[in-house]
Amino acid sequence: MNEKVVKDICHYIIDNINDEISLSLIADEFNYNTCHILRTFKEYTGFTIIEFINECRIYNTIDPLVFTDDTVLKIALMHGFNSQEYYSEKFKGVIGVSPLRFRKIFSILAQKVIDTSDIEELKIIKGAFEELKDYQQYLNGISSEFTSKEEKRKERPNVKTMKLQ
């Protein structure tokens, strides 16, 4: 298995992120042993396949959290998570706050902007969304070019320190 196959696996995951994705499905799709795929994927990307899938799915839940009134459970289930608890745990691990807290923070910030037309508050919201967009580009970039595991971890944005609080 080489770099091109790992890139193809990343694209496959991104293209099918809202579908059920399993290691055995990926192994069957690409005709490789699951252990070999796991080892090689992590070697090239610095992520396990599960981490990559979860982080892509977490990012895809940001818009529904901020712009809909859907329950956290509904959003979690719509984006490939089997339970609200697992989704919330992974969301907090990636973003740094729970989904409900994230929604509340953005709701409060947006309301302040609407109520006061405060340019500084608008800049905070815009900055946070730009950081999330950078994070999505980072995830997508994993499938475009590879570096060593250590270099990839250094390049990884620290979304836990985003200006959400």
Sketch out the chain's domains with CATH numbers.
3-156 (1.10.10.60)
| Cα–Cα distance measured from residue 84 to residue 149, given in angstroms and rounded to the nearest whole number | 31
Task: Indicate left, alpha or beta for 47 from its phi (over 0: left) and psi (-120 to 50: alpha).
Answer: beta
| Cα–Cα distance measured from residue 165 to residue 149, given in angstroms and rounded to the nearest whole number | 31
Q: How confident is the model at residue 159 (pLDDT cuts 50, 70, 90)?
A: very low
60 backbone dihedrals φ, ψ, rounded to 5°: -70, -15
Average pLDDT of span 13-42: 91
Question: Residue 127 in contact with residue 150, Cβ under 8 Å?
Answer: no
Summarised one tens digit per residue, pLDDT across range 88-133 is 999 998 888 899 988 888 777 666 555 545 556 556 556 666 666 6
Summarised one tens digit per residue, pLDDT across range 81-96 is 999 999 999 999 888 8
Q: Is the pLDDT of residue 66 over 50?
A: yes
Token pair recorded at residue 60: 């895809």
